[in-house]
Amino acid sequence: MSNSRAYAVAASHSETAKAAELILRKGGNAFDAVVAAMMMSFVAEPLLSSPGGGGFLLAAGPDLKPQLLDFFSDTPSMPANEIAHDEIEFYPIEGDFGTRSQEFHIGHAAAAVPAVPAGIYKIHETLCSLPLDTIAQPAIERAQQGIEVNHQQAYVAMILQPVIGASTEAKALFAGFNSGSVWKNLRLADFLDTLSRSGHDWFYRGEIAQRIINQGRGLLEEEDFRAYQCKIRKPLTLRLGKHELFTNPIPSSGGYLIFEQLKRLKARKDAAAVLEAMQHADDLKRNPMTEVSRGTSHISVADTEGNLASLTLSNGEGNGQIVAGCGFMMNNFLGEEDINSKGFFNWREKQRMQSMMSPTLITHPDRQIALGTGGSNRIKSALFQVINHIVNNKKSLKQAVAAPRMHYENGHLDIEPGFNQSDLFQLKKQHPICSEWLNHNLYFGGVNAVQTGHVITSSADFRRNGYGIVGVVKDGIKSGKSCF
C-alpha cells in the first residue's frame, strides 16, 4: 500500500479517531486531524482530556524535521513561600484504581496554568492547512448532539468519583455520565465554537482567564496567563541500528527514561533484561527528574502526504472545579505528589513543569511510526516495551502493542497475563515481590500507534478501548476502514 495514498489514525476513543478521519477526508493534513481529534477528546474523554490541561505534539513530515511543541503547564508566578495557606483551597482525596488506591490533591489551588488552548493556536498557526473553525466543527456538533458514554469512560468516572463530586458544578456537569447514556455538553460546544474563531489573547488575556482567576482560593494570577506560550523544542534523539527515535526532551523526563532503558538493554533482549532496564529507570527517576499526569490520552495520525503527528495530553485527575460557563474542568498538576517530591508548594515560580508524557516517532528506511501512551509513571515502561518489541524483537506494530507488559516501580513488580512460564520463572526469581494480574488493564498504559511506509497500519490499545482507522485514497476519494 503506497504511503502517499493512505492514512491512519489511532486514539483512545472511537469518536476521537473518527474526528481525525473526517478532517483528513476534508483535505486536511495530519496536524489538522490531530487538532480535531484533540478537541473531540474533550467531548468523548472529558475526565482524561480538557482545555484546562496540557500536552505535547511531536510532528514530522517529508518537508518538516521532527519538532516538539510543548504546551504543558507553567508553575504560578506567585512565590511558593508567599502563599497564605488559610486562604486557598487544596485538599487530599483518594482515588480507587482497582487493586490500588492513591491519594492526590484537588481544589482551586491545585491548578497550574491551563496550556491546551495555547497549544491549539500554535499548532494551527505553524502546521495546519484548514481554518480552525472547520477543524473544530466535529467536536462542536458532537458536544451539542451528545455522545454515548462507553464502559471505559464510565470506569474512569468511577475511579475519579471523588473529583466529580468535589463541587456543585462538577456534579451537575457529570450528572448521568453512566455507561450507555447519552451525555451532552452545550457549554463546551459554545466554548470550542468561540475558541475556533478567536486567537491566543481571547483565552489568555480576556474573559476566560479572568473567570478562572476570579473563582478565588487558587494561585493563578493575570501575569500567569499573559506570560504563557507554547514552546517549540528540538526532540531528544537516539539511533538503534537503522532505526532513529525522536521523543520529548528535557525538561520533561519520560523520553529520557525511555531512551535510558533502551540503551541499558545492550545485546540482551530477554524478559529479565527488560526488568533490569526498568529497575535502572526507577533508580534514575529518584533524582529531580520526576513525573506528572495520570489522566492522559494519546492520539497518533499519519496522512496521505507522509506527515506524522504524535500527541499526548493530560488533565491530571482534574481539580474538581469547572470553569464557569465553559463546560470543562481545570487540571490538578500542582496537586500531583509525583511532581512535588520535595513537598507541595515548593516550586520555582514561572517554570515549565516536567511530565512523563512522551509522544514518540520511529523512523526507518522501510517505515515510520508515531506512537505514545497514557498511564502516568507507567508511560516510561509501556513505551519502552513496545519500542523494544518493534526495534529489537522485530515484531509487527500490532504484535508489539498487544504483547504482555510488566511495570516496576518503587520495589514492586506488576505483571500482565501472557508471559511464558520460562519468563515468569526468571522474573519472579529476579524480583519475588510482585503481583500477577488476572486481566489486562489500563494500568499498563494505552499505546496508540500508526505506521506508514511499505505497510500502513494502525494499532490502538485494547487496554484503553482504543480505536484505529486505516483509510485509502482512490481516484481522489478517501474511504476508511475501521479496526480495533
Task: Give the chain's length.
Answer: 484
Q: Cis peptide before 92, with omega less than 30 degrees from 0?
A: no
Strands (E), 315-447: 360-364, 367-372, 406-409, 412-415, 434-436
Q: Give the separation between CA 33 and CA 56, rounded to whole angstroms.
A: 15
CB-facing half-sphere around the CA of 447: CA atoms within 13 A: 30
List alpha helices for 146-270, DSSP H. Answer: 151-159, 161-164, 168-173, 186-196, 200-204, 207-214, 222-227, 254-265
Residue 354 sits at the vertex; the CA angle it makes with 126 and 89, to the nearest 5 degrees, is 105
Q: Is the dihedral of CA 99, 103, 106, 109 positive or negative?
A: negative
DSSP letter string, 85-132:
GGGS--EEEEEE-SS-EEEEEESGGG-----HHHHHHHHHHHH--S-H
296 is catalytic: yes
CB-based contacts of 86, cutoff 8 Å, min separation 6: none
Please report, in angstroms and rounded to a whole number, the separation of the first and last CA atoms in the chain: 20
CB-based contacts of 138, cutoff 8 Å, min separation 6: 18, 19, 22, 23, 36, 39, 40
Alpha carbon distances (Å) from 423 to 41, 274, 349, 434: 38, 11, 47, 14
Q: Give the separation between CA 258 and CA 280, rounded to whole angstroms.
A: 11
Residue pointed to by grid coordinates 531528544: 236
* Centroid of chain to Cα 63: 26
Please classify residue 153 by burial: count the beta carbons closer than 10 Å to its beta carbon, then call 0-12 exposed, 13-18 middle and 19+ buried: buried
CB-based contacts of 50, cutoff 8 Å, min separation 6: 42, 116, 315, 318, 328, 329, 330, 331
Q: Which three cell numbers stand for residue 84?
A: 497564605
Residue 481 carries which side chain, given as an amino acid letter? Answer: K
Q: Which of 296, 312, 373, 457 is catalytic?
A: 296
Give the active site residues. 296
